[in-house]
Chains A and B, each alone.
Chain A
C-alpha cells in the first residue's frame, strides 16, 4: 500500500514538474482511475496550485527613494572624508614603487640606527688588531696620476701581515719593483687580482717585479717576522723612466 502511494507521489511530482514520460503518464492515469481517494489527492494538489497562481503579486506602493539617496549621499560623504584625511599619503605614496621606496628608506634608517647602537655599545672592535691598518697606513700609500696613468697603492696591516694592494690604470706598460729585506719579511702571496693587459711576474730574493698594462690590480702579502720597524721600497718605471720611488715603513 505504502509502496503504491510512494509510486503515485513520484508520478504526480513528475507530471507537475513537467518531467513525465508518456509511459509514466499512462501509469498515472491508470492509477488515478483505479482509486477515487488517490484521484482526490491529485485534484487537491491541482487545486492548491491554481489557488497559488491566482493570488498574484502584492502591489503595495512605497517611496523610499529620497531616504535611500540621502543615506547613499551620507555614505559617499563619509568615504570622501576618509579619503580626504589620507590625501597626503595617497598623493605622495600611492604608486607602489614610491611606497616601496618609502618603506625601504625607513628600513635603512632603522638598520643604520641599530648598527650604530650595537657597535657603540659592544665596543668589540679590536684596536690592536687594526693598528697600522688602512687609516694609518693610507698616509704612506702611493697616489700618482698623469694624463695616461693612475697608480694607487693602499698598504694595510692585520697583526703581522702587511698587505700591499696596487691599483693601476695605464695605457703604457708600467713596471713595478718591490724590495724588502728577507730578514724582516717572508713573502706569503704575490699575484695579480685582475689584469687587462699582459701579465709579467718574477720573484727574486727580497724583491717582486711585475708589469701592469690597462687596468690592473695586484696584491702582495708580507709577513713581518719581528716586532721592530721594517720598510718596503716600491719603485715604478715607465719606458725605463722612473715614475715613483717610495719607502713604506711598517711598525
Chain B
C-alpha cells in the first residue's frame, strides 16, 4: 500500500467512528503552536502528496498544482491557531484544499481537454485506458460542484463523511450529488462518445 493510500485509510476509519478523535497530528500541531514552527514540516511531508494529487485531478496542471499545494499549506499554517482539535487535521486540510481548488476553477473557468494537457503525467496517461480518458474528459466538463464530489469520492477515495466535511454539505447531499454527477456523465458519454 502506498503512503497516500495508508493516510487515506487511517483518516477514513477514524472519521467514520463516533469515538473521540485520536490524531497523532494533533500532537504535532501542539508542537507547532507552542514549541517549534519547524514541526510543521512533518505535516507538510505527510500530506503534500494527497493535496497535490487532489489539485492535479481538479486542475490538471502540474505547475499550478504544485503552487496551489504550497499555498494550501501556508494557509493552513496561518489558520493553525484557530484549528479545532475536534477535527482530524487531514480532513481540515482537505477542506482548505478543496475550497482553494474550487476557487481556482471558478477563477479560471477552465474546462480542460485532457488530450491537450501538457503537464499531465505521461505515466498516468499510459495507464489510463481509452475508457478512462473519455471518462476523465467528461468529468472535466462537469460543473465544479459535481466535479469536486467525483474527484473527492473516486479519485481521492474519501468516505462520504469526509467528502461531506470537505465540501461542507451533508452526507445525504453528497450521495445525491454523486448520483446526479454520474447521470450527467452517462448522458455526456452516451451522446458524444462511443464509451458504452
Contact A18 B175 (CB under 8 A): yes
State whether B74 touches A64 (Cβ < 8 A). Answer: no
A45 touching B183, Cβ below 8 Å: yes
A7 within 8 A of B: no
Interface contact B155-A55, CB-CB below 8 Å: yes
Residues of A within 8 A of B81 (CB): none
A53, B70: Cβ atoms closer than 8 Å: no
Q: How far is the CA of A9 from the CA of B183 in the complex (A)?
A: 10
In the docked arrangement, what's the CA distance between A67 and B74, Å?
10
B44 on the A face (CB < 8 A): yes
Contact with B along A61-75 (1 / 0, CB 8 A): 111110111011101
Asked if B179 CB lies within 8 Å of chain A CBs, one says: yes
Report the minimal beta-carbon distance from B70 to chain A, rounded to whole angstroms.
Answer: 5
B73-125 interface (Cβ within 8 A of A): 73-74, 77-78, 121, 124
B53 close to chain A: CB less than 8 A: yes
B82 to chain A, nearest CB (A): 16
Which one of B69, B124, B190 lies within 8 Å of A44 (CB-CB)? B190
Are A17 and B176 within 8 A (Cβ)?
A: yes
Give A69's nearest chain B residue, CB to CB. Answer: B41
Task: Please determine whether A53 and B154 come into contact, CB atoms closer than 8 angstroms.
Answer: yes
Size category of the binding interface on chain B: 35 or more
- The digit string for A93-137, where 1 denotes a CB below 8 A from any CB of B, is 000000000000000000000000000000000000000000000
Cβ contact within 8 Å between A48 and B175: no
Chain A, residue nearest B180 (CB) = A13
Q: Which residues of B contact A72 (CB under 8 A)?
A: 37, 40, 74, 77
In the complex, how many angstroms separate the beta carbon of B88 from the nearest chain A beta carbon? 18
Task: Please classify the interface of chain B as helix (H, G, I), strand (E, B), loop, or mixed, using the class held by over half of its residues.
Answer: helix
A16, B176: Cα distance in complex, Å: 9
Complex CA gap A59/B52 in Å reads: 9
User: Interface residues of A, CB < 8 Å — how many?
Assistant: 33
A61–B56 Cα distance when bound, in Å, is: 11
Contact at A52–B182, with CB atoms within 8 Å?
A: yes
In the complex, what distance in Å separates the CA atom of A63 from the CA atom of B2? 16
Instruction: Contact check, A63 vs B48: say whether CB atoms are below 8 A apart.
Output: yes
Rounded to whole angstroms, the CA-CA distance of A75 and B79 in the bound complex is 13
- Neighbour of A59 across the interface among B53, B62, B176, B183, CB < 8 A: B53
A68/B182 in contact, CB under 8 A: no
Q: Given A49-B182, A51-B132, A55-B154 in contact, is the A64-B44 Cβ separation under 8 Å?
A: yes
Report the Cα distance A193→B67, complex, angstroms: 82
Q: What are 10 residue pairs bridging A and B, where the CB atoms are less than 8 Å apart in the complex?
A: A13-B183, A44-B196, A47-B196, A52-B135, A55-B135, A57-B157, A58-B57, A63-B48, A68-B44, A75-B74
Closest 8 CB pairs of A and B: A58-B53, A17-B175, A52-B154, A65-B44, A62-B52, A68-B73, A65-B45, A64-B70
Please give the residue numbers on chain B whose beta carbons come within 8 Å of chain A beta carbons, in ascending order: 2, 4-5, 8, 37-38, 40-41, 44-45, 48-50, 52-53, 56-57, 62, 65-66, 69-70, 73-74, 77-78, 121, 124, 131-132, 135, 150, 153-157, 172, 175-176, 178-179, 182-183, 185-186, 189-190, 196
Identify the A interface with B (CB < 8 A): 9, 13, 16-19, 44-45, 47-49, 51-53, 55-65, 67-69, 71-73, 75-76
